Amino acid sequence: MFTLKRKKIFGSGALNWDIFYRVRDLREFSFLGFSFEPGKEYVFERPIFLELLKVLEKEAELIYQCGGGSSANTIYALSTWGFQTGFVGAVGEDQFGERILKELSQEGVDTTFIRKGGQTSLAIILLDHSKDRTIIVSPGTSETILLELNLRSLPPGFYHLSSLASPEGRSFHQALVEQLEYPFSLDPGEIYSDLGKDFLIPFLQKALLLFITEAELRKAGLTVDGVLDLRVRYLFVKRGQHGALGVMRREVHRSSVFPVKEIVDNTGAGDYFNAGVLAGFSLGLSLEASLELALFSAGLSLRAYGRGGILSKEEFKKFLKRLK
């Protein structure tokens, strides 16, 4: 089995500042005549996004703020658990970018390869009392400076990629994957999955691990067998409340979710699932044990908003003892 022992894990993907607001009923809330459908993600231009923020400040309850982005969440969790991590990405030259850098640095993430320029990507996570959720994103302009990054200056290690929203960001990732001689994993999310199989194949021909939901697999026009026919050695299909599949050379492991007492917020649960798998591989655990760790990490993350639900280092170590 492939192992990440002694490898520093670098993330690359969107670096957002996430702002959590609660409204009484998501289905009744509207903004400029626009309604929000639970479970969907929307992209707003920055001026409209800031107008929405003003409305929410008056009409909704601010409940949490933290850094976000799929790969960033995964790396943050791994650093919390004591692994050596770093990040390759971009933030804006604004207060939100400073907050993101400070949060990552305080948790021990190497931010040397995070560039600053333009505006930081922002996301509103809009929830209601029924636990329905929608996400409104304002991508910002910081990703444009990624094309100026000298790819040859990037250090060796294991890379975990998630989507970048802008055309410049996608071009950067395409160039990065073309050059990477190091192993990497990919979580395409909705953004890269919506671009289809032709966009993803160059990634999958080099990726060792793929994290993807059942819906994203369908959107991308991919199948389990089709993915494994490429270079992908380990495929993890996230199935929400039905658990997950871990597939290696047609060997399939199924695992159910861990029961939780209360679901406060499911934002980022899939990212903390990814962290559990990568932590397991870093520790030399089996595919089955890594899958169990991943589902435990994802399940407990539901207990709080954003990164507030991440397993502590002590909880992580305690669960490892149960696995062994």
Please indicate, yes or no, if residue 130 is contained in any of the structural domains.
no
The two three-digit tokens of residue 140, written as one number: 């910002």
Q: Which of 312, 191, 218, 211 is nearest to 270 (CA)?
A: 211
Give the pLDDT confidence score for residue 124 in this predicted structure: 93
Pick the range with the lowest mean pLDDT from 10-14, 170-174, 176-180: 176-180
Q: What is the pLDDT of residues 132-162, one digit of tens each?
A: 788 898 888 999 999 999 998 999 999 999 9
Angle at 245 between CA 241 and CA 247, to 5 degrees: 170
User: What CATH number does the domain containing 272 carry?
Assistant: 3.40.1190.20
Average pLDDT of 287-302? 93
pLDDT of residue 99: 97
Residue 259 has pLDDT above 90, yes or no: no
Return the structure tokens found at 33: 């005549």
Residue 250 confidence (pLDDT) above 70: no
Domain that holds residue 267: 9-14+69-118+140-323
**195 falls within a domain:** yes
Query: For the segment 173-212, what is each residue's pLDDT rounded down to a tens digit?
Result: 999 999 988 789 999 999 999 999 999 999 999 999 999 9
In a domain, 133, yes or no: no
Could you report the per-residue pLDDT of 35-59, keeping only the tens digit for each?
Answer: 888 888 888 999 999 999 999 999 9
* pLDDT band of 257, cuts 50, 70, 90: low
| pTM confidence score | 0.91
**pLDDT recorded at residue 130:** 76
Inside any domain, residue 19: no
pLDDT in tens, 70-79: 999 999 999 9
Contact residues for 310 (Cβ-Cβ < 8 A; gap 6+): 76, 77, 80, 272, 297, 301
Give per-residue pLDDT as tens, 84-137: 999 999 999 999 999 999 999 999 999 999 999 999 999 999 988 877 788 898
In a domain, 48, yes or no: no
DSSP 251: E
In this structure, what is the dihedral angle of CA atoms 225, 231, 234, 235, given to the nearest 10 degrees? -40
* 173 belongs to a structural domain: yes
Q: What is the mean pLDDT of residues 158-173?
A: 95
Binned at pLDDT 50, 70 and 90, residue 2 comes out as low
| pLDDT tier at 291, thresholds 50, 70, 90 | very high
Domain count, the chain: 1
User: Would 3 be classed as within a structural domain?
Assistant: no
Does any domain span residue 219? Answer: yes
- Residue 153: how many CB atoms within 10 A of its CB? 8
